[in-house]
Structure 1
Amino acid sequence: MISQKMVVVDLETTGNSPKKGDRIIQLSAVTIENGKIMSQYTTFINPEITIPTFIEELTGINDEMVEGAPSFEEIAPIVLEIMDGAVFVAHNVDFDLGFLQSELEEAGYNGFYGPKVDTVELAKISYPTAESYKLTELADRFTLSHDRPHQADSDAYVTALLLLHFIEVLSKLPLVTLETLQPLAKYLKSDLELLLQWIVDKNRMHIDELPETIEIYRGIALKKKEEQLDASLPSDDIVYPSNDTNKEKLLQHAFENFERRHSQFQMMDAVYDAFSCKEHLIVEAGTGVGKSLGYLIPALYYSKAMKIPVVISTYTVQLQEQLLQKEVKQLQEMTDFPFHVVLLKGRNHYLNLFKFEQSLREEESQFDVVLTKMQILVWLTVTNSGDIDELNLTSGGMLFWNRIKHDGWHLQKEKDPWISRDFYLHARKQSNRADLIITNHSMLLTDLIAETNLLPSYQQVIIDEGHHLEKAARKHFGKLIDYISVKFTTGQLGNLDQKQLYYKLETLLEKYHVKYDLHSFELDMMIVEFYRELDECLNLLASTFLKHAKKRRDVQKIQLRLTDEIMSERAWQPVLIATERVYSQMKGIENAISDRLDQIKKEDVKLEDQEKTLVEELYSFLKDWSQLKEQLQLVFIKGQEEQVIWIEGDLRSLPTSLVIQSQPISVGESLQERLFSKIESAVITSATLTVQSSFDYLLKEVGLSQEKIKQLQLPSPFQYEKNSTLYIPNDLPEIQSVSVIEYVEAISAHLIAIAQATKGRMLVLFTAYDMLRKTHELMKDSGLLDDYVLMAQGISSGSRTKLTKNFQRFDKAILFGTNSFWEGVDIPGEDLSCLIMVRLPFSPPNEPINQSKCDRLKIEGKNAFSAYSLPEAVIRFKQGVGRLIRRSSDRGIVIVFDQRIISTRYGRAFLQSIPSMPVRKGNLEELLQWIEEWL
């Protein structure tokens, strides 16, 4: 196919819909022949309509630039000549080709009906682990020159380079992988099957030897496991650095321009001493201390000296990846002895190779499933871990993953032909020989309550991002039932007519003449009745929720705490009765399916491989079914003491948005009993653990007393006094004294003026999404920031990471965030020079956990505000301030719009808990003058 002419096209248009009158304003076509770029044709096109402001901002193309350009009718013959006999290629091909077809037909020409190739599909298959498949981000990944994104000539040329690169990548895949990919590709949206056929034919002509790193097993190519050498050494060979000079020499190996940090040495010694003395330790290490190496170095030395593993638990995947990709590599450069670090996650993070192998034998035409199979086939040639977190799957791909994820062995483990290559077992085996085991809070907590230990035996643990431990434990010891998951889990079974798992099981039983108790007709009727009752139950729940939610119609997303008062209402009784019926039916269906599976085992049926995977899938399904059944019982029927139960949902999309949660009000006792009392030493660390220099709040939350833990507070070494200032405008209204709209108008006016003074580079943090959305709309519609890029969480597309990266790309940018943006966002240097907090981050008073904790404290005779609400808000405030200064050379301004920070007595708690910096107060005019001087 590559010997055929390929034309890579990119269009800039006035909008997304030619049917609504949108037109092309620029076209570029790059011609490729025999694998080489031969020519490029580019032209502006006069659309004969005004170019919208948004398009002008995005592309840089304005009305003046297209005024003297040809119309599309004039260039249509040139375009058709270029595309004659070619393969049409574009990044998101259906958009460009569809738009071009429309313009050609409008001009009186026949459209293009040759083969088409989508480089988005090609990218997803060639690089299944890429963070993003946007053109600009792919160009960045492969360091391709892309100086004018969203202009057709630059976009088309970069797309052409990417096309050639992806073809080269695919050409290097093992022939067996290509031969499996090629027939799958016929179900994709573009004609990649033709491209893959050409690559297969070419590779068959000269079959190269497989690389040493690849093996073929049961017809699938995969990367060989990297067996680690035994890195244990006698304890005499490894001595922990005893003084600052030795530590400095150690660090010099990793940092050419090492900046001496005494606080980092203090942390190393404190961690090593805590392990040696079998004590618990809590360390607040401010930004710039070098926290990660501050615990990794002593953990490694202790592990090697004592020949036992140390577990490191984090809350976020980002920190896990950072530890592996950055700090562990630095450790390897610093030390002169080998060591072994393993990342270990829960079983369902890993691919079940046997299930995946059998899925390849199924005829499947659903796009997301086919694409995911193709991505996994390519991924298997590069992955060491088999961990889903490496993959970038579509939402439909995630549903398919639920079928092929690891879920243990329900038949004889030894009969799994992939046992020798099993990713989960490999990770477990590696962890048994590891010096350091990196995991997450969820896995750590699962291990505490699991019947069989998931982590190797350990006595020392480091809990990084420790301010999230209580939250993670509440979530983990709680229950969650959501409408989408309920429908997905139960929908997998199906009745006989739907021909899903139940139908396949009955067909299998009939084939081998397996006898069972409940007749298939009776079970089929039970399943049909169950689906009817389940829908009725969910609809009843939605209508009861809506009845109470109507009282708060000003907000779309509602959380309703199920108090004893609500659950004793007459209106609640039908929900309870319906849930009991659903539970009873689930129990009966579970028993019937279990009986059938037991009979297969009992009669020792000799199953074929594909039948084995069906039985494994049924056992996995039954596990999810049973878990859902127990959750329904615990939340609605039995109830649990000391739990808070609530329903949340979006009033615009009921019942599909319904989520029911149950969480313990307090987890301190459970953590003390299950974790801290069972191990010798736990180190809890984070950059934000104290309130007014006291660890008291956090220690109470996780069940530790002041007497049972050593404490160390290490302030940031950065010069906040010199490099930052906190400003409080005094001419904004108190939010309680005006309507939300009035408040939004007031802060928007301030934000616009500040943005113009700072030239953007602003991160604006909100505590409520509704206010973020209204402020973003008002600022965008004002017309005063037309040359600024405004990005907002939940409005602009992309994850937090993608939004942050995009924010850093533009000179004049404003980023609006809430919730997760208060922490974990790292924007160093001049990319961020102004941080604005709209409100002090108190949790909403009607938030269920907040309500329950406050009610409990009041019953205990304590002040709920000072004991819980205030310290929780202060820690979050500290996290927000921490977004500004990320490096010693950073400079910036913190602006707090909330007057309570100076007008209330408790406001001092916020100011006294952050690094010392100048605090200024004044009106907007004074603020703008001061900003101008500062910057």
Structure 2
Amino acid sequence: MPPASAPHPAAPRLLLPEAPALVAGIGRATLLTPDGEIETLAPHALARRLADLPPPMLVHAPATARRLGLAPFPVAYDLLELFAFVLPAQLAAPTPRGLALALGLEAPGDDEAAAILLPEIATTLLRHLATNRHALLNRDAPQLAARLRDASDWVWAPSLLAALGQPEARPATDALKVWRRLPEWEETAPPTPPASLPVAPLEARKRLAEILGADAETRPAQADYASAASLAFAPREAEGQPQLVLAEAGTGTGKTLGYIAPASLWAERNGAPVWISTYTRNLQRQIDQELFRLYPDPEERRRQVVIRKGRENYLCLLNHEEAVNGAMPSRLLALSLVSRWAAATRDGDMQGGDFPGWIAELFPWGHVAGLTDRRGECIHSACPHWRRCFVEHSIRRARTARLVIANHALVMVQAALGGGEDKPALRYVFDEGHHLFDAADSAFSAEISGGEMAELRRWLLGAEGARGRARGLRRRLEEITSDHPALLPLVEEALRHAGSLPGPGWSARLGESDDRESYEGEDDLPGHPAHTNPGEAFLRTVILQVFARSPEADAGYDAECDLHPLNPGVAEAGAALEEALGLVETPLRALHARISGLLEDPDAELETGDRIRLDTARRTVDRRGLRPLGAWRAMLKALAGRPPEPGTRPAHVDWLAITRREGRVIDAALHRHFLDPTEPFAAAVAAPAHGLLITSATLRDSGEGDAEHAWEEAESRTGAVHLATPAIRAAVPSPFDYPNQTLALVVTDIARDGPQAAMAMEQLFRASGGGALGLFTAIRRLREAHARMAPGLEAAGLPLYAQHVDAMDNSTLVDVFRAEEDSCLLGTDALRDGVDVPGRSLRLLVFDRIPWPRPTILHRERRTHLSGARPKAYDDAIARHRLRQAFGRLIRRADDRGVFVLLDGRAPSRLLAGLPQGVVPQRVGLAEAVRETRRFLGAS
């Protein structure tokens, strides 16, 4: 049946809503009424005023309501929704200033100017849509806007339809089905074996000069760094002995282009990609942006550069299809904005790519987050969208690219799994190399927790009555079991024993009580899940031991205790769980072997599709089932063995822990970490490679007086010490004039606890005129400080944002902080590393106290056995490194100036020795610190 004819297009026109423009501060709001009057109102007065006006025009409705302390707006003209519809896959900070900068408009200087600007932002966006209404991206825009108008009464729909010249457009369901319009990937011949031609230092310098261009400033240190980096691309001379370079490059050296020069040259010359791995998503994005210099043409850049992340970062088209097909009107707008973005995105990355993170913040949790494959439920070749899948596209492009920008987590997880979707690389560059220890610690660890066991049960049995795409193993393997019925009994046998894992509601049962006596009595009740379910029974014994042994008295926090000596009942419960897990593992292992036999049978005539499905099933059973079950059973079997002798160096560190939320136990776990996680990193990642460059601005502990010892510590923290061939060492100093560009202060006359730190931080933020980052070592203190500081700073015209307080994720907060030059930001560890905020946007950095390592059991064991009989020095090195990393955020360009303040008069001088050479911290009172900050930064 032919489709109904669309209404005849009309001339586009600009239809602006008659809406007041609203800009929020803390405790006050600026309102531009439809009559053109500017009003400044307290929140309670604003609520009454808005009751008499149309819905307001604003930026980021949830954040606006939270900053004003109001209930969520029932209806609002949110300019972020309009921006995301008109300019999908374009990034902008979610503030009036951020949108102005993204659209090329003059940035507002204050809240009044911002309120006046909001209608102009709307006009600019609608005019852009009208001008580009015939673009391929906007082919279905009228039908989509019409559906949003009719199904959800979206307030921007009439304005969009007017700009598109189709005010009477009819809605169409197909407008949301973006997967139908995405390109398919095609298989190509396997890549040819790579050559092993070297890159000479002089060649690296020449390539660097070509990338920078003839007019670039001469930077001898950057060229020296490129020469040193080229040594990692020499031919490997013996198996298991990669060419390894440890290169420390001070901030401002230009290390990114310094290593891209030899890496890109080696990839071109030898026909294989170089993998550049980072610790943070922020740096992945920065490296990608730097590569515009090497590949200015977008099409060539797409061929030569690929960003690789785990599947959980990408839009899952099957999740999106199922959400669209079952969409309630309340979710329709979120899905529409995602569909618009999916049609325009470069690679489908929703975490740090070109997906604006604030889109998810505009809607209830799960409306957008549930569209990625966070639970590892990908069905690979059985998926109808497999050939359009963003992840599959990136995997195949990575095989023929020259540079693959990955992250430590992906590289190490794939190594931990014994290979993965990507073939192991021959050459790696590990940027942010000082984080290799932490990344390896995460990748090569294991835990038996309620959450992990429940996830395995969910993978085996499906959602068990709940909504969502959790098909279970039987559904996932339907096609191959129908073609190979001998596999089905093995699947059924595994599912029959899956009930031994924690079942639906397990977390609530753990938190039924938070006192030991209640736990002891409950287990004796006939039929209680903790008694009948081996997984839950084991968790209960863990909780009992943690309650008995943990020194943590505050019931509001997580707690942990040593595994040994075992409490009565732990070993017995562990043995029962191990036996139950074995009943699940045995049929899964037989299933894996049977599928492998089918794939390797020379007499089997398998079609290509059948072979792909069998291989996918085999890999999935191994990764999701056999690997965790094998690790868990090994940990549980060790419970029956002899405990380690006190004082001996263990290979692993085991301990028990509970997780609390609002005073209730919500999970319990047995943890196992390598004492030194760089050992498996060296064996699984470094040794098989042909060459590695491990680089950072802070590889060494600069506070160590002995330079040789500092290099030895760097080799230990990066795993170089575990390789047969010694590493080549290189260090290039920063070109910045730190003694003249920075000021370092230690405030000596305020108490660390209580409100004084917040008071001091507020005074310092005022002295700098904003552009200030406050770092805390505890979330509780951060929240308390925000509540005390926000009103005064807002009254002074300095917006204050905070991690764990504002309705924004970390990347969005950093984007806002970068765009708003006079704003202030409070954060924790996540904002200390890998954040690039050049210029005036970051001119003051304040630590609330010394960032000592958390005194955990794992840290205790490493401090004891990895410190070389210098346990205090081990703690010092960690704190010194954190201070140095934070200090490096201050100066990102030659003309930057910044003040570093530590609000801890007890800070020993040996920790401050880690600051850049020539920077001498001054110990002063708060009043003098405020005066010096104001003087140094020239703020009024």
Normalised by the length of structure 1, the TM-score is 0.73
- Code of the aligned partner of 1:303: A
Partner of 1:430: 397
Correspondences of 1:401-550 after superposition (within 5 Å): 401-402=372-373, 407=378, 409=380, 421=388, 423-452=390-419, 454-456=421-423, 458-480=425-447, 487=454, 490-491=457-458, 493=461, 501=471, 505=475, 517=489, 531=503, 532=529, 533=533, 536-537=536-537, 540=540, 543-544=543-544, 547=547
Question: Deviation at 1:829?
Answer: 2.5
Query: How many residues are matched?
Result: 838
Q: Unpaired segments of 5 or more residues in structure 2? A: 1-6, 237-242, 504-528, 640-649
Pair 1:273 & 2:280 matched: no
| CA offset digits 1:107-130 (Å, max 9, x no partner) | xxxxx9xx9987655555555545
Question: Deviation at 1:144?
Answer: 4.8
CA pair 94-534 structure 1, distance change in 2 beyond 3 A: farther
- Code of the aligned partner of 1:282: L
Q: Is the 8 A contact 2:274 2:404 kept in 1?
A: yes
Pair 1:282 & 2:246 matched: yes
What secondary structure does 1:695 align onto? helix
CA pair 583-117 structure 1, distance change in 2 beyond 3 A: farther
The 1-side partners of 2:412 and 2:476 are apart by 39
Q: Is the 8 A contact 1:179 1:200 kept in 2?
A: no
What secondary structure does 1:7 align onto? coil
Pair 1:702 & 2:718 matched: yes
Question: Deviation at 1:478?
Answer: 1.1
| CA offset digits 1:544-570 (Å, max 9, x no partner) | 3773598534473324144313xx112
Pair 1:844 & 2:854 matched: yes
Partner of 1:673: 683
Question: Deviation at 1:701?
Answer: 2.4
The 2-side partners of 1:343 and 1:313 are apart by 10
- Please, which moves more after superposition, 165-174 or 801-810? 165-174
What secondary structure does 2:698 align onto? coil
| CA offset digits 1:180-210 (Å, max 9, x no partner) | 9589859964448986997999789999xxx
- Among candidates 879, 882, 885, match of residue 879 of structure 1: 885
The 2-side partners of 1:784 and 1:491 are apart by 47
Partner of 1:313: 277
CA pair 884-436 structure 1, distance change in 2 beyond 3 A: same
The 2-side partners of 1:240 and 1:808 are apart by 39
Question: Deviation at 1:307?
Answer: 4.0
The 2-side partners of 1:630 and 1:709 are apart by 35
Partner of 2:182: 222
- Code of the aligned partner of 2:344: V
Partner of 2:803: 793
- Tell me: higher relative CO, structure 1 or 2? Use CA pairs within 8 A at least 6 residues apart: 2
- Please, which moves more after superposition, 310-319 or 156-165? 156-165
Partner of 1:916: 918
CA pair 815-421 structure 1, distance change in 2 beyond 3 A: closer
| CA offset digits 1:797-844 (Å, max 9, x no partner) | 323333334335556543222212222222322333322223222202
CA pair 168-276 structure 1, distance change in 2 beyond 3 A: same
- Code of the aligned partner of 2:786: H
Q: Give the fraction of aligned pairs with identical amino acids, expressed as a percent.
A: 19
- Among candidates 734, 740, 745, match of residue 722 of structure 1: 740
Partner of 2:516: none
Q: Is the 8 A contact 2:436 2:718 kept in 1?
A: yes
CA pair 236-573 structure 1, distance change in 2 beyond 3 A: closer
The 1-side partners of 2:462 and 2:252 are apart by 56
The 2-side partners of 1:896 and 1:419 are apart by 52
- Among candidates 807, 819, 835, match of residue 817 of structure 2: 807
The 2-side partners of 1:753 and 1:93 are apart by 30
- Code of the aligned partner of 1:383: T
- Code of the aligned partner of 1:889: D
| CA offset digits 1:737-757 (Å, max 9, x no partner) | xxx33xxx4434433443343
The 2-side partners of 1:890 and 1:23 are apart by 33
- Code of the aligned partner of 2:896: D
Question: Deviation at 1:252?
Answer: 5.0
Pair 1:855 & 2:822 matched: no
CA pair 653-195 structure 1, distance change in 2 beyond 3 A: farther
The 2-side partners of 1:217 and 1:933 are apart by 58
The 1-side partners of 2:411 and 2:494 are apart by 43
Q: Is the 8 A contact 1:10 1:155 kept in 2?
A: no
What secondary structure does 1:284 align onto? strand
Correspondences of 1:565-714 after superposition (within 5 Å): 565=565, 568-570=566-568, 572=570, 576=574, 579-580=577-578, 583=581, 624=624, 629-630=629-630, 632-636=632-636, 638=638, 642-652=652-662, 654-656=664-666, 661-692=671-702, 693=707, 694-705=710-721, 708-714=726-732
- Please, which moves more after superposition, 479-488 or 468-477? 479-488
What secondary structure does 1:564 align onto? coil
- Code of the aligned partner of 1:330: R
Question: Deviation at 1:650?
Answer: 3.2
- Please, which moves more after superposition, 551-560 or 873-882? 551-560
Partner of 2:521: none
- Code of the aligned partner of 2:445: G
CA pair 899-595 structure 1, distance change in 2 beyond 3 A: same
Q: Which has the larger radius of gyration?
A: 1
The 1-side partners of 2:623 and 2:420 are apart by 19
Q: Is the 8 A contact 2:772 2:825 kept in 1?
A: yes
| CA offset digits 1:450-489 (Å, max 9, x no partner) | 4446444643321111001111111111125665666566
What secondary structure does 2:429 align onto? strand
Partner of 1:893: 899
The 2-side partners of 1:926 and 1:201 are apart by 60
The 2-side partners of 1:245 and 1:491 are apart by 54
Q: Is the 8 A contact 2:130 2:164 kept in 1?
A: no
Question: Deviation at 1:767?
Answer: 2.3
Partner of 1:142: 103
What secondary structure does 1:288 align onto? coil
The 1-side partners of 2:164 and 2:23 are apart by 39
Pair 1:365 & 2:327 matched: yes
Q: Is the 8 A contact 2:747 2:902 kept in 1?
A: yes
The 2-side partners of 1:732 and 1:23 are apart by 30
The 2-side partners of 1:182 and 1:624 are apart by 41
What secondary structure does 1:650 align onto? strand
Question: Deviation at 1:890?
Answer: 1.4
- Please, which moves more after superposition, 182-191 or 883-892? 182-191
CA pair 206-761 structure 1, distance change in 2 beyond 3 A: closer
Question: Deviation at 1:288?
Answer: 0.8
The 2-side partners of 1:839 and 1:23 are apart by 31
What secondary structure does 2:904 align onto? coil
Question: Deviation at 1:648?
Answer: 4.8
What secondary structure does 2:693 align onto? strand
Question: Deviation at 1:518?
Answer: 9.4
CA pair 546-182 structure 1, distance change in 2 beyond 3 A: farther
What secondary structure does 1:318 align onto? helix
**CA root-mean-square deviation:** 5.8
CA pair 575-690 structure 1, distance change in 2 beyond 3 A: same
The 2-side partners of 1:881 and 1:187 are apart by 53
- Please, which moves more after superposition, 532-541 or 686-695? 532-541
CA pair 470-367 structure 1, distance change in 2 beyond 3 A: farther
Question: Deviation at 1:373?
Answer: 5.1
| CA offset digits 1:226-258 (Å, max 9, x no partner) | 9999999x999998673999578535517x4x3
CA pair 25-773 structure 1, distance change in 2 beyond 3 A: closer
Question: Deviation at 1:324?
Answer: 1.6
CA pair 600-93 structure 1, distance change in 2 beyond 3 A: farther
- Code of the aligned partner of 1:921: R
The 2-side partners of 1:895 and 1:753 are apart by 12
Q: Is the 8 A contact 1:314 1:440 kept in 2?
A: yes
Q: Is the 8 A contact 1:530 1:585 kept in 2?
A: no
- Please, which moves more after superposition, 523-532 or 922-931? 523-532
The 1-side partners of 2:329 and 2:451 are apart by 21
| CA offset digits 1:642-693 (Å, max 9, x no partner) | 1344535234163446676432121232233233333332111001111135
Partner of 1:397: 368
